[in-house]
Amino acid sequence: MYIIIFIFFAINLVTIGYPIVSIQEIQQLPNFILLLLPPNYLPIIRLFSLLSVIFFIISALSKLKNKKQLILFVLLTSPLLLILAKEFNILVIFVLIISSIWLLSNNNYFLLFASFLYIFFIYLNHSFNSIIFQQLWVLIKSTCNLTGLFFQNETVHEYIRIPKNGYFLESSLIFFLYGIYHLIKEKKSITIKYLLFLLFGLIIFLTYPSKYFIFSGIGLLIFILIIISYGSVKIKMNKFFVGLLLFVTVLNFAFFLESYFRHYQKKYSQERGYAKFQLMEKIKLIDKIVEITQDSDIDKLYQYYSYHYSMPKIRKISNGVWSINDCFNNKQLICALTEKEIEVNNQNKNDSRFYIVTNDNGGRAYFLTNVKQYEN
Amino acid sequence: MKHMFINSKNTSNLLLLSLILLVIVGFVIRSYQIESHPPVDNDEFAIAYDAYSITQTGKDQWGVKMPLFFKSFGDYKNGFDIYITALMYKLFEPNIFWLRFPSIIFGTLYILLIFLLLSNITIDKKLIIIGTLLMTLSPYGIFFSRTSSASISQSFFTITSILTFIYYLKSNHKKLIPISVGSLLLSLYIYPSSLIVVPLLLSGYIFILLKKHEYTITILLVVAAFIVALPVINQYLGGGSMIRFQNVANIGMKLEINEFRHHSQNDFVSKIFQNKIVYQSFYLLKNFIYHFDLEPLIYLRNHVDQHDNGFPQVLIITFPFYILGFIVLFKQIKNPTYLIIALWIVISPLPSIIAGSGFNGKRSLTFLGSDIVLIILGLSYFHNIFQKKLVYFLYLICIIINSSIFVYWYFSPYKLLAESHLYFKTNKLYQIVKQNYSKFNTIVYTTKNLGEPQNPVLFACLFPPEKYIKIKVAKCSPWCRIQPFDKFIYMENIEDIIKYISLNIKDNKIIGFLSSDEIEIIKRKSCYEILSTFQPKKNYLNEKFYLIQFEQCI
């Protein structure tokens, strides 16, 4: 069993650089880590996420007397855990560790302690964000949405959405529904135990200031995963159905892996900030001034790159108003124009003087002026 | 026979009185403001004119005598609703009220069906009344009973079949089988959804009959079903109705497959994972689950169209019992009655899924009533609690309050939205022609603006069908486009209209129904007088339309 977990660890380690580190990951990292790790080595921080996922898996298995292989299979084929192992987020790591300790200790008071710890952490790091309450209904809708969670979260959730997949495999819906059904039937003490974890997830969901469900809803997602595991322990099936379900799960998982490793980054490279990284790579070491539209995402990225490279000076332009002639005529200036800005300024998008920074799927993100001449 | 249809234990005066009261309330809600709300859509106008044509000539608008399937726009509508409407027009006058009257009746009788169905599931009178009340005030029940969309009548006959089959299971009275199967087969001639519902439900019946060793009846049933279904099969395979399925083919899916194959340079692996079979299976499964997801069930949606009023299917106050109902049903699945109900629940979303849409209330309307059965099963789990009068009446009041929100929504905000956005221009044109047909020689409008609404204008002036059959020039490929006829001159662009006006301006009775953009263009080239101005009450797009009379410029 531990060999399988080791294989999971090894595969994740080998592919640790995929998908590219996103701007969201960089934004929450303290400066000293950014100083230590240049862009090429930054994916190493995901090791923390991977280890916390493995800790969670081992904890989930530790108290079981039977069906260990089945639970391991269910957990290792869960898209959620693979996604989380390959994305650095402090809250996610915190929730995974708390869930693991809760599973190991079986102590409900621990959850109370964890909730206080979390609130204290939030209080220190963020002010409670009123946006979360404005978006509450949208967030509730995205949580209570079986098709979004199990089938396709692209249209329901923002950020880390795997094409044609949810956070859980379609086949695990059976375990989830059975888990809920069994919990209703189960003794009160066990039901209350799970309800308390749900409450813990809800506290995070309602207070964490992020518009991305994968982060604010992490407690709820882990809760669903725990219910799936619970359902798979409790469900009684004959060998034929077990075989059928395993077969469907393997197919499901293969479909997910294909989607994740071959299409996710390409399709959603924009929301990971792929083009912004490419832009930084392009302009680093160039001794010029770069003009770019006001974009808060760029700030931390630029700061990070400037720790490791000599970066050109960046000038922010508000409202996309450009002295477009300067962009071409002033050779000391690089303008990073978006497609929309090109259109507004009546410029030809196919002008050969532009150097084009693309997203991973080939979509044109930035049109750079005066870069080609510099190369020549 | 009477004892078979109403459980004698339940037939108290109170129960019957409640039923009568609820049926009356149901009828009133379903028929209130029926002529104006919701706006009449193009399909309804087509049904109306075909029905009128049948009453006048015995032929449809294409000159075919008493067809089973009406060519209409080239989509070959199933004939049942058109004949029922024709009957109304024969007995009364041809107007919107009598067009929608059959739907109101089917929708009202649905209440009775659910009452009878619940009487077979529970012996608790209170729960039967709750269920009947839920059907009376059902958002989807009311919505689809107010349009002549055929889906309510198809659904009605399907549920009649299920109910009769359940009676058969309880009484073992074999005479009920032909009634049940006959009712199911009749639905084949009502709405295309039945093409998917009927074979699957019939397979369920056959399965149960075989388990009961009813071999002779089963063979007769299969033969009869095949014979009755033959014209329908023929129509869909070779008669032109396949256009309905071609129309709903999932174009988005093809684009997605291409996009993903492009990501991986169309390699071998992408051919395995990105192909029609894999995607189709994925969407079928996803859309099936979506029908039982919270979004269509209990969320108020922003989107409204002629198939969806945006109000959730299940009242929020009943939702926990709806979920619980699944558990109760699952536990008793070995009972043939519950097996049939489970089959009904599983089958009903399929037409909408197979047609490629995520959720389409009209196509999956067979579900209507199954939600109530589930709620009642869920409530029966708390049977003892609802025996307390206080709890019972409080819950009844909660249901009435929750339903009142829907009734308010339907007759106030949704009415405003529907009037403004659904067939606003078509309905205005209908009114203009109805009120002014004798006052003008020509009316002009652009197809860019209005499409080709020949049916609204035909029905508005009750254009003689014999004459229409003779003068009509149509191009069908396979949707049919009718060339301008009689007083109705419609062209693609406003420039073509201007040309027409300049050639025919001596005729001083030309009126036009044009948008503000078109008026801006025409202003420079023609003279006209504005007779009336129309704009939607909720005018987000700042649309304005004018009825103008063309004049010679001095």
Tokens 């995205």 -> residue: A142
Query: Cα distance from A259 to chain B (closest Cα, Å)?
Result: 9
Q: Distance (Å, rounded) from C-alpha B93 to C-alpha B55?
A: 11
Interface test mutation site (partner A, options B273, B274, B314, max chain A beta carbons within 10 A): B273
Q: Could you tell me where the DSSP H helices lie in A208-238? A: 213-216, 218-234
Closest-CA residue of A relative to B284 is A151
| pLDDT given at position A324 | 78
Mean pLDDT of chain A: 88
Does this model's pTM top 0.95?
no
Do residues B479 and B74 lie in contact, with contact meaning Cβ atoms separated by under 8 Å? yes
Closest-CA residue of B relative to A164 is B282
Instruction: List CB contacts (< 8 A) between B294 and chain A.
Output: 141, 144-146
What is each CA distance from B444 to A106, A270, B450, B475, B521, in whole angstroms? 78, 49, 11, 20, 15
Residue B3 scores a pLDDT above 70: no
Is the same domain home to A288 and A212? Answer: no
Instruction: List CB contacts (< 8 A) between A164 and chain B.
Output: 282
Chain-chain contact of B285 with A255 (C-beta, under 8 angstroms): no
| pLDDT given at position B26 | 97
Query: pLDDT band at A374, cuts 50/70/90?
Result: low
CB atoms within 10 A of CB B412: 10
Query: Cα distance from B212 to chain A (closest Cα, Å)?
Result: 27
Is the same domain home to A24 and A111? Answer: yes
Is the same domain home to A124 and A170? Answer: yes
Interface test mutation site (partner A, options B258, B263, B281, B381, max chain A beta carbons within 10 A): B263
Q: Is B267 on the interface with A (CB under 8 A)?
A: no
Is the same domain home to A248 and A297? Answer: no
Instruction: List CB contacts (< 8 A) between B269 and chain A.
Output: 258, 262
The predicted-structure confidence for B170-219, as pLDDT tens digits, reads as follows: 999 999 999 999 999 999 999 989 999 999 999 999 999 999 999 999 99
Residue A9 scores a pLDDT above 90: yes
What is each CA distance from B86 to B81, B90, B101, B144, B359, in whole angstroms? 8, 6, 11, 20, 31
Instruction: For residue B293, give the nearest of A147, A181, A184 by CB distance.
Output: A147
- DSSP string spanning B336-383? HHHHHHHHHHHHTTHHHHHTT-S--TTTTGGGTTHHHHHHHHHHHHTH
Do residues B30 and B142 lie in contact, with contact meaning Cβ atoms separated by under 8 Å? yes
Q: Is B269 on the interface with A (CB under 8 A)?
A: yes
Query: pLDDT band at B242, cuts 50/70/90?
Result: low
For B505, the 3-state DSSP assignment is coil
Closest-CA residue of A relative to B328 is A181
Is the same domain home to A73 and A175? Answer: yes
Instruction: For residue A361, give the nearest of B263, B282, B292 by CB distance.
Output: B263
Residue B526 scores a pLDDT above 80: no
For A86, the 3-state DSSP assignment is coil
Q: Distance (Å, rounded) from C-alpha B229 to C-alpha B100?
A: 27
For A110, the 3-state DSSP assignment is helix
Q: What phi and psi, each to the nearest 5 degrees, are found at residue B141? A: -60, -45
Percentage above 70 pLDDT, chain B: 94
Residue B2 scores a pLDDT above 60: no
Token readout for A263 is 């299409």
Query: Which value does ipTM take for this structure?
Result: 0.81
Closest-CA residue of A relative to B297 is A145
Query: Cα distance from B350 to chain A (closest Cα, Å)?
Result: 16
Q: Is the peptide bond before B478 cis (omega within 30 degrees of 0)?
A: yes
Residue B30 scores a pLDDT above 50: yes
B66: nearest Cα among B55, B241, B243: B55
Domains and CATH numbers, chain B: 158-190+193-239 (no CATH), 423-551 (3.40.50)
B429: nearest Cα among B509, B532, B358: B532
Interface test mutation site (partner A, options B271, B295, B353, max chain A beta carbons within 10 A): B295
Query: Cα distance from B259 to chain A (closest Cα, Å)?
Result: 9
Strands B527-534 and B545-551: antiparallel
Is the same domain home to A191 and A229? Answer: yes
Enclosing domain of residue A299:
275-375
Chain-chain contact of A258 with B293 (C-beta, under 8 angstroms): no
Length of chain A: 376
For B530, the 3-state DSSP assignment is strand
Question: What stretch of H or E contains B115?
Answer: helix B96-121
Residue B246's contacts (CB-CB under 8 Å, 6 or more residues apart) are none
Task: Over range A292-315, report the average pLDDT.
Answer: 90
Higher pLDDT, B116 or A374: B116
Interface test mutation site (partner B, options A147, A250, A261, max chain B beta carbons within 10 A): A147
Mean pLDDT of chain B: 89
Residue A200 scores a pLDDT above 60: yes
Chain-chain contact of A150 with B295 (C-beta, under 8 angstroms): no
The DSSP bridge partners found for residue B489 are B444
Closest-CA residue of A relative to B325 is A181
| pLDDT given at position B245 | 61
Closest-CA residue of A relative to B299 is A141
Number of structural domains (chain A) is 2
Q: Distance (Å, rounded) from C-alpha A376 to C-alpha A290?
A: 19
Chain-chain contact of A163 with B289 (C-beta, under 8 angstroms): no
A81: nearest Cα among A103, A62, A100: A100
Instruction: List CB contacts (< 8 A) between A258 and chain B.
Output: 269, 273
The predicted-structure confidence for B86-113, as pLDDT tens digits, reads as follows: 999 999 999 999 999 999 999 999 999 9
Percentage above 90 pLDDT, chain A: 48
Interface test mutation site (partner B, options A136, A137, A142, A151, max chain B beta carbons within 10 A): A151
What is each CA distance from A224 to A102, B110, B213, B330, in whole angstroms? 15, 39, 45, 22
| pLDDT given at position A128 | 57
Do residues B336 and B169 lie in contact, with contact meaning Cβ atoms separated by under 8 Å? yes
Is the same domain home to A264 and A293? Answer: no
Q: Please report the number of interchain residue pairs, chain A to chain B, with beta-carbon separation below 8 angstroms.
A: 49
Chain A residues with CB within 8 Å of chain B CB: 141, 144-147, 150-152, 163-164, 170, 173, 181, 184, 254-255, 258-259, 262-263, 266-267, 361
Is the same domain home to A152 and A248? Answer: yes
Instruction: List CB contacts (< 8 A) between A150 and chain B.
Output: 289
Chain-chain contact of A145 with B292 (C-beta, under 8 angstroms): no
Tokens 């609404």 -> residue: B453
Chain-chain contact of B294 with A144 (C-beta, under 8 angstroms): yes
What is each CA distance from A268 to A22, A29, B248, in whole angstroms? 11, 22, 29
Question: Which of A211, A241, A269 marks a domain boundary?
Answer: A269
| pLDDT given at position A70 | 86
| pLDDT given at position B345 | 96
For B531, the 3-state DSSP assignment is strand
| pLDDT given at position A166 | 92
B271: nearest Cα among B262, B283, B280: B262
Instruction: List CB contacts (< 8 A) between B290 and chain A.
Output: 146-147, 151
Closest-CA residue of A relative to B292 is A146
Is the same domain home to A161 and A26? Answer: yes
Q: Distance (Å, rounded) from C-alpha A143 to C-alpha A67?
A: 29
Query: Cα distance from A323 to chain B (closest Cα, Å)?
Result: 34
Instruction: For residue B260, give the nearest of A141, A254, A263 by CB distance.
Output: A263
For B250, the 3-state DSSP assignment is coil
| pLDDT given at position B4 | 46
Token readout for A108 is 């409900």
Is the same domain home to A217 and A282? Answer: no
What is each CA distance from B230 to B191, B225, B227, in whole angstroms? 16, 8, 5
Is the same domain home to A296 and A236? Answer: no
Positive or negative torsion for Cα B204, B207, B212, B218: positive
Q: Is B295 on the interface with A (CB under 8 A)?
A: yes
Do residues B530 and B512 lie in contact, with contact meaning Cβ atoms separated by under 8 Å? no
Question: Which of A269, A301, A330 marks a domain boundary?
Answer: A269
Question: Which of A224, A240, A269 marks a domain boundary?
Answer: A269
Q: What share of chain B is helix, strand, coil (3-state, %, to 5)?
A: 65, 10, 30
Least confident of A97-111, A274-288, B293-307, B516-530: B293-307
Round to the nearest angstrom and report the end-to-end CA distance of chain B: 81
Chain-chain contact of A262 with B282 (C-beta, under 8 angstroms): no
Query: Cα distance from B6 to chain A (closest Cα, Å)?
Result: 34
Residue A36 scores a pLDDT above 90: yes
Instruction: List CB contacts (< 8 A) between A183 and chain B.
Output: none
Instruction: List CB contacts (< 8 A) between B263 and chain A.
Output: 262-263, 266-267, 361
Q: Is B400 on the interface with A (CB under 8 A)?
A: no
Q: Could you tell me where the DSSP H helices lie in B248-315? A: 251-263, 268-273, 276-290, 294-298
Instruction: List CB contacts (< 8 A) between A259 and chain B.
Output: 273
Percentage above 70 pLDDT, chain A: 95
B15: nearest Cα among B142, B162, B170, B122: B122
Is the same domain home to A254 and A346? Answer: no
